[in-house]
């Protein structure tokens, strides 16, 4: 089977579940208020760590979007332990990726994945509170006005349910497609290449060898950027080549939870000790969970979906899957169509405004967190952030140093244009 047909089959298998996951994520985004995620996370207690992990597991945030979001809740007063717990749990899973995991890898993986993310996050947050409990950080401007400036969710609206549903739909199949779509495409292409073009002999040394498999996966998954959804077809492809189920789970955990960008931001904003705790927690959680799956749970739980996947090649794809795939492709094309990039935030053209260049924004969550951070600065009357242009347009007369400090406190580099 050639690479393109393998990618097409993977996409058809996942598309119905991806669409369902995106829709549920859109409903969460629109109907669950932001204040729910920050109200109970301020004290450096075990309870705040657990709550941060519980809040993070279902959230549909990509691996880059979770970084400024986590730094944002830290700015609002969340403890370091709660911040690290949120930072570990959130990118590993989400309601969309849990459903997508079920589509390719079966129910056991779909259940175990969020459970492991939860336990690893609680371990990391608790360890952070125990070893790095200094919650006063001069680099952070804790500002109680952050929620007050985010009228989108923190204040009641008079919008009808139908309007909120339309906004949820627009977020699910618009913004989420922009944020996750390219990484999903990368995951599908990599999986297609591994499955169709890489000889099985390349992976012979890893076949049924948990230690070698886990070390191999950790070697490339920790520094790389892998989103929770895009990592699924890659994990499936590696299992087809002989890597153990435990190693596949390591990829699903360590890939989304950690990458070079997140390591640098955590070290810069929260300190090197916290960064080390963050890394150790992810690596230890991945290794322990990998061994538990391979040596303590029935192997047929995890191998059965692989056999089912191979059998489905013979049966072909049904009409419903084709229709879902067509709709998904239309949404992806619409999300990345070039004209969209030219229609961002031009309504301040007649007003005097100051432009700042912001480096490192990779998704809509990044841009939204930059907007909220700038909005807390005294003197800011209005702010727009363009993800595609990498710019923030500010109306008002704020102090330049305070604006730069607010942006850098959530992990981005900024300069006046």
- Confidence class for position 209, pLDDT limits 50, 70, 90: confident
Question: Which carries the bigger pLDDT value, residue 189 or residue 200?
Answer: 189
CA distances from 23 to 37, 49, 96, 260, 354 (A): 20, 28, 8, 30, 37
pTM of the model: 0.77
The 8-class DSSP code of residue 340 comes to G
pLDDT number for residue 125? 93
Domains detected in the chain: 3-331 (no CATH), 342-416 (3.30.70.100)
User: Could you read off the pLDDT of 121-177 as tens digits, one per residue?
Assistant: 999 999 998 887 655 443 444 443 434 344 444 444 445 788 888 888 988 888 888
Choice among 27-41, 164-178, 270-284, 286-300 with the minimum mean pLDDT? 27-41
pLDDT higher than threshold 80 for residue 236 = yes
The pLDDT value given to residue 140 = 45
Name the average pLDDT for the chain.
81
Q: Read off the DSSP letter of residue 399.
A: -
107 pLDDT tier (thresholds 50, 70, 90): very high
Model pLDDT, residue 372: 86
Distance CA 67, CA 94 (A): 15
| Nearest alpha carbon to residue 257 among 288, 283, 239 | 283
Residues linked to residue 408 through DSSP beta bridges, in sequence order: none
pLDDT of residue 137: 46
More confident residue, 344 or 199: 199
pLDDT on residue 141: 42
Residue 397 has pLDDT above 70, yes or no: yes
Looking at residue 312, what is its pLDDT? 63
pLDDT at 80 over 80: yes
Mean pLDDT of 95-106: 90
Q: Looking at residues 1-27, what average pLDDT do you find?
A: 86
Band (246; pLDDT cuts 50, 70, 90): very high
Q: What pLDDT score does 290 carry?
A: 93
Per-residue confidence (pLDDT) for residue 313, from 0 to 100: 60
Give me the pLDDT at residue 37, please. Answer: 63
Q: Is the pLDDT of residue 352 over 80?
A: no
pLDDT digits (tens, 9 = 90+) for 289-298: 999 999 999 9
- Among residues 371, 404, 369, 385, which one has the least CA distance to residue 66? 369
Give the largest Cα separation in the chain, rounded: 66
Q: Residue 205: its pLDDT value, please? A: 78
Give the residue-averaged pLDDT of 181-198. Answer: 84
Res 383 pLDDT > 70: yes
pLDDT of residue 279: 92
For residues 322 and 303, the model is more confident at 322
Contacts of 87 (CB under 8 A, 6+ apart): 56, 66, 67, 70, 262, 266, 278
Percent pLDDT > 90 in the chain is: 23
């Amino acid at each position: 089977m050639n690479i393109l047909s393998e990618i097409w089959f993977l996409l058809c298998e996942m598309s119905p579940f991806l669409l369902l996951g995106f829709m549920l994520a859109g409903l969460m985004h629109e109907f669950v208020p932001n204040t729910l995620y920050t109200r109970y996370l301020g004290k450096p207690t075990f309870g705040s760590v657990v709550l941060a992990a519980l809040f993070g597991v279902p959230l549909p945030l990509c691996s880059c979007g979770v970084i400024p979001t986590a730094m944002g809740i830290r700015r609002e007063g969340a403890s370091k332990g709660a911040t690290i717990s949120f930072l570990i749990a959130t990118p590993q899973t989400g309601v969309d990726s849990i459903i997508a995991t079920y589509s390719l890898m079966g129910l056991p993986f779909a259940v175990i994945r969020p459970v492991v993310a939860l336990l690893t996050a609680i371990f990391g947050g608790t360890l952070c509170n125990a070893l790095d409990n200094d919650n006063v950080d001069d680099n952070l401007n804790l500002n109680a006005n952050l929620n007050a400036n985010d009228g989108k969710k923190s204040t009641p609206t008079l919008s009808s349910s139908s309007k909120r549903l339309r906004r949820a739909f627009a977020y699910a199949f618009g913004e989420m497609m922009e944020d996750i779509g390219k990484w999903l495409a990368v995951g599908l292409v990599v999986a297609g290449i591994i499955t169709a073009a890489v000889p099985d002999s390349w992976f012979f040394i890893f076949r049924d060898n948990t230690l070698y498999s886990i070390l191999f996966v950790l070697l490339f998954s920790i520094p790389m950027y892998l989103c929770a959804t895009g990592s699924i077809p890659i994990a499936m492809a590696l299992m087809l080549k002989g890597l153990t189920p435990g190693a596949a789970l390591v990829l699903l955990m360590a890939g989304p939870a950690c990458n070079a960008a997140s390591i640098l931001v955590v070290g810069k904003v929260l300190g090197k000790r916290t960064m080390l705790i963050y890394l150790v927690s992810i690596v230890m959680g991945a290794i322990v969970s990998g061994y538990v799956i391979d040596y303590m749970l029935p192997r047929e739980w995890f191998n059965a979906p692989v056999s089912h996947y191979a059998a489905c090649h013979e049966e072909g794809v049904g009409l419903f899957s084709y229709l879902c795939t067509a709709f998904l492709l239309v949404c992806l094309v619409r999300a990345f169509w070039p004209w969209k990039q030219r229609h961002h935030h031009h309504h301040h053209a007649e007003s005097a405004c100051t432009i700042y260049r912001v480096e490192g924004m990779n998704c809509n969550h990044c841009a939204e967190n930059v907007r909220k951070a700038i909005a807390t600065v005294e003197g800011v009357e209005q702010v727009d952030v363009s993800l595609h242009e990498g710019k923030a347009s500010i109306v008002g007369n704020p102090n330049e140093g305070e604006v730069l400090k607010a942006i850098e406190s959530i992990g981005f580099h900024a300069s006046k244009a």
